[in-house]
Amino acid sequence: MDANDLKSILNSSDNIVFFGGAGVSTESNIPDFRSASGLYNERLKSTYTPEEILSHDFFIEHTEEFYDFYRSKMIYKHAKPNGAHIALAKLEKAGKLKAVITQNIDGLHQMAGSKNVLELHGSIHRNYCMKCGQFYDLDFVIESGKIPLCNKCKGIVKPDVVLYQESLNAKILEDSVNYILNSDVFIIGGTSLSVYPSAGLVNYYKGNKLILINKTKTPFDNKANYVYYGNIGELFNKIIG
C-alpha cells in the first residue's frame, strides 16, 4: 500500500475508526514501550522492571517509588501533537472519522483537536483522590511532594491510568467495540498489537478495509487488507497535510 492508495480509501469513506498505540506519539518525542529503544528495554537503576513498577500492587505498596518512575518516565508535559494527531483531528472535523481509540495516556489527540477520543488506558491529565474522589490536574501531581496527597482529606491521589492488574473501563471498551463493528474503514497505527485485551479489538472489525500502519510487523498483518511499514505521522502528512 502506498500513500495514494490510503488517500483514495479515506476520500471514499465517511465512517472511519482509528485505533492507535505508543507509536503514534513517538514522533512527538514520547518513547514507546516495546521497541529496541523503548521504555521496557531501558536499563533502570531500580531493581524492579517497568512492568512491575506500573502495576497496581506496586502503586499500593511502594507509592513513593512508583511516583519517582511515573514522573520521570510517563509524563511528557511539553510534548506537542504531531502529523498523525493533527491529521486525525482534521478527518473528524470533515465528518469522516467517527472515533479515535487510543492506548496512549498523553492527551495529544485532544490537544490536536479530536473530540471523540476513547482512552483505553486512561490519561495523565486526570488524577483522583482514592479516598474522597476529588479531581486533580497534571500540574498538581508534578508539583506536589513525593506522594501527592489530597488537599481535602489527605488521601493518596492516583493517576487515572490503567495499571497492570487493573481492568479496562467497561464502558469505554464497549463503546470501542461498537464503533469498530460499525466502521467501514478501520485504521490501526503505531501499535505492536501485543497487549490484550486491547489487541483483541481487531477481531471485531467485519469490513474489508483493515489498514495497519506500523514501523515493524504485527501478529495481525496477514489479516489486514493494507499494510504500511513506516512512520504514521509522515504518512498522514503526505495524504492529509
Q: How many CA atoms lie within 13 A of 150 on its CB side?
A: 17
CA distance 166 to 14: 35
Q: Is the dihedral of CA 235, 110, 18, 239 positive or negative?
A: negative
Catalytic positions are 121
Residues pairing with 157 in the sheet? 129
DSSP letter assigned to residue 156: B
Q: Quick check: bond before 197 cis, omega within 30?
A: yes
CB contact burial 40-69 (16+ within 10 A = b; e otherwise): eeeeeeeeeebeebbbeebbeebbeebbeb
- Going by C-beta distance under 8 Å and a sequence separation of 6 or more, which residues neighbour residue 152? 129, 132, 134
